[in-house]
Amino acid sequence: MKRQLMAEQWDQFARSVLPKDCSPTQRQEMRRAFYAGAQGILFRVIAAFAPETEPTAEDLQIMEDLDQELRNFGEMIKKGRA
């Protein structure tokens, strides 16, 4: 299984900011907002690649993995599982 970088960041974020007694709805909405923000950042990073800079194969793989993770999360929301 591929490493899910956003999920790791979400877990760290949630532990840091969510109250221990927050409702499931609050947790779900915060997670959705977190992933939406991450997706927005990802698109900005992609746009920032300068044409004269050649990304490495590792750079491209990280970007592809993040993109797929965010798409998977969006599908989970649509299916009511996130």
Are 42 and 66 in contact by the 8 Å Cβ rule? The answer is: yes
pLDDT tens readout for residues 39-57? 998 887 877 776 777 777 8
Are 67 and 55 in contact by the 8 Å Cβ rule? The answer is: no
Q: Per the structure block, which two tokens stand in for 70? A: 């965010």
Are 13 and 34 in contact by the 8 Å Cβ rule? The answer is: yes
Residue 8 is inside which H or E element, if any? helix 5-17
In angstroms, the CA 14 to CA 9 distance is 9
Mean pLDDT of 2-24: 93
In angstroms, the CA 62 to CA 32 distance is 21
pLDDT tens readout for residues 64-74? 888 899 899 98
pLDDT at 15 over 80: yes
Q: Where are the domains of the chain?
A: 25-47+57-82
